[in-house]
Structure 1
Amino acid sequence: MKRFSCDELVELVTAYLEGGLDEPTGGRFEEHLGDCEGCRRYLGQFRTTVVTLGEPQPGGLPGETRERLLSAFRDRGRS
């Protein structure tokens, strides 16, 4: 059975936390976590973010906040 890469795990983290992975995929996900400290740390940070931010509010982010956030992500990608 092919093992997950870290990039594949990152793509599935939301589905994992929501219980949306089928049994074989969830098993491979957890197997990767067992062997990868970086991905365990990433999952922990992701869980902390979800708990801290809570549920998204109706209407999304206000325009100015959304633009600042998108700009920060764009700038980070250039470094």
Structure 2
Amino acid sequence: MNCDAFVELVTAYLDGVLEPAVEQRFVAHLAECDGCDRYLEQIRTTVAALGHLPEESLAADVRDRLLSAFRDWPAD
């Protein structure tokens, strides 16, 4: 697994939804790549910090604009 593939899979890994074979390759890459190890820790830190923000802290119009902006975001 290369670093680009690793980055694409971080969210699925943290959510615990990777297929066992993919997770094994993910963990193997993680053990060998200091850069991806740091990246994963940065994502964990970000999720931990932002996971505690109350939903209502985002104004409704801002939420609507964000959803609109990303609605057509390419999935690929």
Normalising by structure 2, what TM-score?
0.70
Structure 2 match to 1:24: 21
CA displacement, residues 23-79 of structure 1 (integer Å, 9 cap, x when unaligned)? 1000000000000000000000000000000067658x5429x77xx9xxxxxxxxx
Take 1:57 and 1:44, find their aligned partners in 2: how far apart are those partners?
23
Count residues in correspondence.
64
Q: Once the two structures are aligned, what percentage of the paired residues are identical?
A: 49
5+ residue gaps in structure 1?
Answer: 71-79
Normalising by structure 1, what TM-score?
0.68
Residues 56 and 5 of structure 1, relative CA distance in 2, 3 Å threshold? farther
CA RMSD between the two structures: 2.7
5+ residue gaps in structure 2?
Answer: 70-76
Take 1:22 and 1:31, find their aligned partners in 2: how far apart are those partners?
14
Take 1:9 and 1:44, find their aligned partners in 2: how far apart are those partners?
13
